[in-house]
Amino acid sequence: MRKFTKAGSYLLLGIISLISLTPFYFMVVMSTYKTENIFKGLPLLPSDYIAENVKTVFASNFVQTYGNSLFISAMSMLVCVLVSAMVGYAMTVYQFRFKKLLKSFIMLTMMAPTQIGIIGYMIEMRTMHLTGTLWPMIFLWFANGFGAFWMIQFIGTALPTEIVESARIDGAGELRIFSQMVFPCIKPGILTLCLLIFLWSWNSYLVPLVFVNTEKLNTIPIFIKGLANAYRTDYGAQLTGLVFATVPLLLMFIIGSKNFITGLTAGAVKG
């Protein structure tokens, strides 16, 4: 009976994996086709047009675009996660007035969609003379409501405050406690947030759309959309671009997957 259940589980997992991976398979296979041939039938096997599609993609400043996206996403991720972790630490460990009000305010910022504030943000960036640079696409992530909320929740449940108190008794400063004691304890939360911020920043469309006014500042989503014009879309080239665009995300998942399932706080405090 147990064997039967196990086989059933594997079968179910196999089916779900197949369903999840099929679009990726088609994305890769379709990227080897000429646009006009993609939809003539079901493209199950690769074609021979990949070189032309790659040529189309790389003919339009794709390397710099890729670098821009990498830089934007890496910077956004690093600073956002650091700021969010600090917010989470402060909100969990310190006791101060209006703490609840502040938490509510953080949650409130999550409820306002980006579209509402985009004009104000554009004016802010223009006033700071940052239009025409990559910074507007990075600064947006620095103070991120979701990141702060995520870390508040995570640290609240994963960090035993006894660690902080013990460190203070041993004479450690706040910066040292945060970097050497707290940070390792909240590693899974940090890595998950890293992944999410990187993913959102990488795929962000609206903010780059309004701030990118020259090919030099292009990001991947704007670049890929730009492979279409009003009358004809080069799906083959777009899919090739998407294949390249997926690589960093896949790497991030592969590198981070082990940590997502490891609860580092387990056993942090001996009973």
Partner 1 sequence: MKRKIVSVLLAVSMLAGMMAGCGNGGDDGNAKSDASGEDAGNNADAAGDEAGGDDADAAGNDASGEEAGGGDADASGEEVTITYWGWDTNWYEPMFEKFMESHPNIKIEATTVAYSDYFTKIQQAIASGSELPTMVQQSCTLIENYKQLGVFEDLTKDPYNVDPNAFFDFIKGRAMTEDGQLIGIEQSVSPSAIAYKRDLAKKYFGTDDPQELAEIFKTPQDYITEGKRINEESGGTDYLFHSGGAVAEWLYFADSVDVQTDNTINFTEKMTNVMGLLCDMRDNKVVDTFENGTPQANATYADDNHLFYPCPNWAITYYIKSNDPDGSGNWGLMLPATGGYSHGGCSVGITNTSTDAQKAAAWEFINWAFFTEEGVQTAKEKVEYYVPTKEFYEDPSYAAGADEFFAGQDIGAFLYGEVAQSIVLPKTSVWDQTVIDIRDLLAVAVMADPSMTAEDAVQKGLEECANRITDSELTIK
- Angle (deg, nearest 10), helices 235-260 and 62-93: 30
Q: Does 43 contact partner 1 by CB under 8 A?
A: no
CB of 79 to partner 1, least distance (A): 13
With b meaning 16 or more CB within 10 Å and e meaning fewer, what string describes 216-252? Answer: ebbbbbbbbeebeeeeeebbbbbbbbbbbbeebeeeb
CB of 189 to partner 1, least distance (A): 24
Q: Does 77 contact partner 1 by CB under 8 A?
A: no
Q: CB nearer to partner 1: give 65 or 84.
A: 65
Q: Does 109 contact partner 1 by CB under 8 A?
A: no
Which of 228, 247, 250, 255 is the binder for partner 1 (CB under 8 A)? 228
Q: CB nearer to partner 1: give 137 or 158.
A: 137
CA–CA dist 127, 264 (Å, integer): 44
Which of 3, 100, 129, 258 is the binder for partner 1 (CB under 8 A)? 129
CB of 125 to partner 1, least distance (A): 8
CA–CA dist 47, 29 (Å, integer): 7
Q: Does 229 contact partner 1 by CB under 8 A?
A: yes
Map residue 65 onto helix, strand or coil: helix
Please choose, from the candidates 71, 65, 60, the residue with its C-alpha nearest in 3D space to the C-alpha of residue 219. Answer: 65
CA–CA dist 178, 135 (Å, integer): 28
Distance of CA 245 to CAs 65, 67, 137, 225, Å?
10, 11, 18, 13
Q: Does 117 contact partner 1 by CB under 8 A?
A: no
CB of 159 to partner 1, least distance (A): 29
| Residue with the two structure tokens 């947030």 | 193
CA–CA dist 174, 183 (Å, integer): 12
List residues bridging with 233 in a β-sheet.
Answer: 228
Which of 109, 131, 166, 203 is the binder for partner 1 (CB under 8 A)? 131
Map residue 34 onto helix, strand or coil: coil
| Stretch touching partner 1 by CB under 8 A, among 8-16, 84-92, 117-125, 165-173 | 117-125
Which of 8, 14, 46, 67 is the binder for partner 1 (CB under 8 A)? 67
Q: Does 210 contact partner 1 by CB under 8 A?
A: yes
Which of 68, 204, 240, 265 is the binder for partner 1 (CB under 8 A)? 68
Q: Which residues contact partner 1 by CB under 8 A?
A: 35-40, 60, 64, 67-68, 70-71, 74, 118-119, 122-123, 126, 129, 131-135, 209-210, 212-216, 225-226, 228-233, 235
